[in-house]
Chains A and B, each alone.
Chain A
Amino acid sequence: MNLSKILKNGFLVIVASLVLTACATQKKLGQTQGDVYTGTDSVEYLASGVKDRVFFATNETVLTTASRETLRKQATWLRKNSKITIVLEGHADERGTREYNLALGERRANSAKDYLMTYGISSDRISVLSYGKERPVDSGSNPLAWSKNRRSVSVKAN
């Protein structure tokens, strides 16, 4: 009987500590939503207020609301600066096979490209380059680092 009591108490303690850890992790991971990165850690700016990159969920290529907003700002900026051409660099995190991730990076960059095109940017001004998992921005091996690495970055080409 005693033993089971001890076990029960022990269990409660474990559960409690799990809850505490969970809270701590939640706070730390406040930079992601779902598993899409929402922070600004590696983000650079094409112009004032125009972020250069958008982030994706694991194995996904759809744009989030925040990503669409970023891309609309990029489109506005590109329309104002009509001489500028860009390269969309698509990336994947390290948790995938190399060849599949090359295709995935290409698909991510293209989903950003398609969105820019619907906002009036000519495809002549946009080229796409996939790096797969070859050029992570964060070298860590944890969910937060991976979320920063799943990205499409708009880079000025001229």
Chain B
Amino acid sequence: MLFRYLFILLILLPLKAFALIEVDITRGNLNPLPVAVSPLSMDEKSKSNFRKILKKDDLGSEISKVVENNLRQSGLFNPLNKNAFLQKPDIANLKPRFEDWNLIKAQALITGKVTFVDQKLRVEFRLWDVLAGKEMMALAFTTVPSNWRRVGHIITDKVYERLTGEDGYFDTRIIYVSEKGPKTNRIKKLAIMDQDGFNNKYLTLGNELVLTPRFSPTNQMVTYLSYFRNLPRVYLLDIETGMQEVVGDFPGMTFAPRFSPDGKKIIMSFAKDGNSDIYTMDLENRIVERITNHPSIDTSPSYSPDGKYITFNSDRSGYQQVYVMDSGGKNVKRISFGNGLYGTPVWSPRGDLIAFTKLHKGKFYIGVMRTDGTGERLLTENFYQEAPSWSPNGRVLIFYRETKTNSKGEGFSAKLWSIDLTGYNEKMVDTETDASDPSWSSLLTN
């Protein structure tokens, strides 16, 4: 329910324009598309209403800033400086003077209007192809005013979808572990924030160690590891109600949890007598199933999006490597054969790739390979980093990295980073505190 605020979506006009512009996201984009994001226009009455409710002087301009920031962060777009805009927002939204926008080299233009209707926030926006002089898209949303940032994210998703032909990933959230304190006694809390770092909220108090939170497919639940009462166990947390429960009744440590793609099961490791194997528990009938049975360490399981396969981490060959098996545990096949150790495999939401952490000669890499192990590509190298999580469209990975805070190699700081599948556009994701173990939600509105 948390995410299901009322969103009424209207298509204003049929989409029949032939676009001249499109953005290729399959390769590193060194020439981001110049786009003008005109501040969304507002009449005086709406302005004063939103000022009262949200304490925002110019909500239209604030929403356009959300869009602009998203587009810039994607690395595929170059939002132009607003000072250069010649046309006023309200007039541009009715009929842009394309010569003016062409003059400042904008190839795409986003305009819109914000109004206060029946205590609700109504936003309409239009995407224009400046070169062709045509409207590409026009949509309107109605929602509760407090949802205004999400409107900015949804607009970005629509623009991204129209221009790249792929699903967006902006109306999403990140759950992660917030960290504080000395390395020898780190205080860790679960935290959740919008994909752009706003609306940060803590979900646990930090009284016990928590690790590796992961979203359910509908984003309502989170599964994670908690050291509550010094018993490391996999837990479920309902984000909306705050209710927590331990998953299953195992006589030992359970860890490395993830949801199955249908949300009905938790897959995780259970460690007993020095041996970790992979188990599932059905959340409805509580039936526990053992998936692997091997004296080696089997952990970090992750389902393929169709639920038919599982990729996991095992040291049955002597060292940590990545394996794939049927969801029932049959046909186990090693897929990583490069130099070094491989861990934290995670299946792409598109199904075609597995992201991993690789350790080789004292360096940590985030990389991807095909699901049969071919085509290994290392995206980023550092002293210490791990735990990639996919954006819902499978185009971006978020992970965490620890760095030294001075040149003598002392002190340390853990932060979230994102990188495109292309290996370009590596960026630190701002968080209030140090952060680790990020997990990306699916799109909140579909």
Residues of A participating in the B interface, judged by any CB pair closer than 8 Å: 59, 61, 94-100, 102-104, 106-107, 109-111, 114, 128-130, 134-139, 141-142
Q: Is there an interface contact between B313 and A102, defined as CB atoms closer than 8 Å?
A: no
Smallest Cβ-Cβ distance to A110: which chain B residue: B274
Q: Is there an interface contact between B404 and A141, defined as CB atoms closer than 8 Å?
A: yes
Q: Tell me whether B143 is interfacial, beta carbon within 8 Å.
A: no
Inter-chain pairs besides A94-B402, A97-B387, 11 sampled, C-beta below 8 Å: A59-B319, A94-B384, A98-B386, A98-B387, A103-B299, A130-B271, A135-B185, A141-B383, A141-B384, A141-B412, A142-B409
What would be 17 A-B contacts, judged by CB atoms less than 8 Å apart? A94-B402, A95-B362, A95-B384, A97-B313, A97-B343, A97-B357, A98-B212, A98-B344, A98-B386, A99-B299, A100-B313, A102-B232, A103-B255, A103-B297, A128-B252, A129-B253, A141-B412
Contact partner of B297 (CB less than 8 A), chosen from A100, A136, A142, is A100
Q: Give the CA-CA distance A137 to B409 in the complex, in Å.
A: 17
| Across-interface contacts of B255 in A (CB, < 8 A) | 99, 102-103
List residues of B (329-385) whose CB comes within 8 Å of A's CBs. 341, 343-344, 357, 359, 362, 383-384
Q: Give the CA-CA distance A103 to B211 in the complex, in Å.
A: 14
Contact with A along B188-209 (1 / 0, CB 8 A): 0000000000000000000001
| Across-interface contacts of B320 in A (CB, < 8 A) | 96-97, 100
Contact partner of A104 (CB less than 8 A), chosen from B209, B297, B402, is B297
With A99-B343, A100-B297, A136-B184 as contacts: A106 and B359 at CB distance below 8 Å = no
| Across-interface contacts of B319 in A (CB, < 8 A) | 59
Q: Give the CA-CA distance A100 to B256 in the complex, in Å.
A: 9
Number of residues of chain B lying within 8 A (CB) of chain A:
43
Residues of B participating in the A interface, judged by any CB pair closer than 8 Å: 182-186, 209, 211-212, 225, 230, 232, 252-253, 255-256, 269, 271, 273-276, 297, 299-300, 313, 315, 319-320, 341, 343-344, 357, 359, 362, 383-384, 386-387, 402, 404, 409, 412, 437
Q: Is there an interface contact between B271 and A99, defined as CB atoms closer than 8 Å?
A: no
Q: Is there an interface contact between A114 and B386, defined as CB atoms closer than 8 Å?
A: no
| Across-interface contacts of B300 in A (CB, < 8 A) | 97, 99-100
Q: Is there an interface contact between A139 and B182, defined as CB atoms closer than 8 Å?
A: yes
How far does the Cβ of B107 sit from chain A's closest Cβ, in whole Å? Answer: 43
Q: Give the CA-CA distance A106 to B212 in the complex, in Å.
A: 17
| Across-interface contacts of A107 in B (CB, < 8 A) | 271, 274-276, 297
Task: List the 8 closest A-B pairs by CB distance, nearest first.
Answer: A110-B274, A97-B343, A139-B183, A103-B276, A99-B256, A103-B297, A106-B271, A107-B274
Contact partner of B386 (CB less than 8 A), chosen from A97, A103, A109, A130, is A97
Q: Give the CA-CA distance A104 to B253 in the complex, in Å.
A: 12
| Across-interface contacts of A135 in B (CB, < 8 A) | 184-185
Q: Is there an interface contact between B209 and A106, defined as CB atoms closer than 8 Å?
A: no
Smallest Cβ-Cβ distance to A108: which chain B residue: B274
How far does the Cβ of A45 sit from chain B's closest Cβ, in whole Å? Answer: 20
| Across-interface contacts of B186 in A (CB, < 8 A) | 134
Q: Is there an interface contact between A100 and B299, defined as CB atoms closer than 8 Å?
A: yes
Smallest Cβ-Cβ distance to B186: which chain A residue: A134
Q: Is there an interface contact between B269 and A61, defined as CB atoms closer than 8 Å?
A: no
Smallest Cβ-Cβ distance to B269: which chain A residue: A103
Q: Give the CA-CA distance A110 to B252 in the complex, in Å.
A: 12
Q: Give the CA-CA distance A137 to B437 in the complex, in Å.
A: 22
| Across-interface contacts of A139 in B (CB, < 8 A) | 182-184, 412
Smallest Cβ-Cβ distance to B301: which chain A residue: A99
